[in-house]
Amino acid sequence: MIETTRPLRGLLSTFRASVAALAMLALPAQAVDLGSMSAEEREAFRAEVRSYLLDNPEVILEAIEILEQRQAVAEAQADVELVASNREALFDDGYSWVGGNPDGDITLVEFMDYRCGYCRRAVPEVEELLAADGNIRLIIKEFPILGDASVLSSRFAVATKHVAGDEAYKQVHDALIAFSGEPSEVSLRRLAEGLGLDADPIMAAMDSDQVTEELRQTRELAQRLRISGTPTFVLENELLRGYLPADQLAIIAAEQREQG
């Protein structure tokens, strides 16, 4: 199907590519070199193509759909190659929080931002998937891209992991995802204290080199994977750009298991 929300420039580009492809198909093999045509021959050819397309406009729609399908396949294959070349950084970086079933047979990686509405929508979907499946390893990648408030929240979460451990990180992570206020030193300190955590060492670690380096490495990984939005998931070999409900994630998980 054609996406009616596609920007006009992109649609025109696709249209021109489709028309060019149709033109090549319409020519006999010996006449493919348009540069060898005379001006009169090129004009006659253009008129013939125009007449054909006006008489058969559905051909344009078919060509665009086929071209988009081919582009989607090419992009998916490119994503598979990106995942393959970054597997260690994705699945075994040595610092990202690991949950779900740590011994699961497949791994789901989520790049998330605490200020992202779709990341918040994804939380119950991911939890449903993990509970129903029982054999998926989950990795959280802190990827704050929505401004200073996002960066502050991620620094607080990562500092909590470094100071108080993985269990405390998960508590803070869940609290920040549900947090509706504006993150600040005061509000974050209250959040930590409300969870029974010692806020002082966490606040002191937020601007540490260790926290900064972890966020930098995740940002550079996202750039290599051409990730520009959240949530973005990597489910084994497949890069999934955007929010997906639990049932769709489950289908993809089953496909990944079948592929071995």
pLDDT in tens, 75-123: 767 788 999 999 999 999 999 999 999 999 999 999 999 999 999 999 9
Instruction: State the CB neighbour count (10 A cutoff) for residue 68.
Output: 16
**pLDDT given at position 248:** 96
Of 97, 5, 89, 21, the closest CA to residue 53 belongs to 21
Q: DSSP alpha helices (H): ranges in 134-245?
A: 148-164, 166-178, 185-194, 199-205, 209-224
pLDDT tens string, the chain, 260 residues long: the values are 333 344 445 544 555 555 555 555 444 444 446 667 788 887 888 888 888 778 888 877 877 877 777 777 667 677 889 999 999 999 999 999 999 999 999 999 999 999 999 999 999 999 999 999 999 999 999 999 999 999 999 999 999 999 999 999 999 999 999 999 999 999 999 999 999 999 999 999 999 999 999 999 999 999 999 999 999 999 999 999 999 999 999 999 999 999 87
Residue 66, CA distances (Å) to 2, 24, 32, 61, 63 in order:
10, 15, 21, 9, 5
pTM of the model: 0.74
**pLDDT given at position 59:** 76
Question: What does the block give as tokens for 79?
Answer: 């994503």
**Domains in the chain, CATH or no CATH each:** 8-85 (no CATH), 88-259 (3.40.30.10)
Question: What does the block give as tokens for 53?
Answer: 């397309």
Instruction: State the CB neighbour count (10 A cutoff) for residue 37.
Output: 14
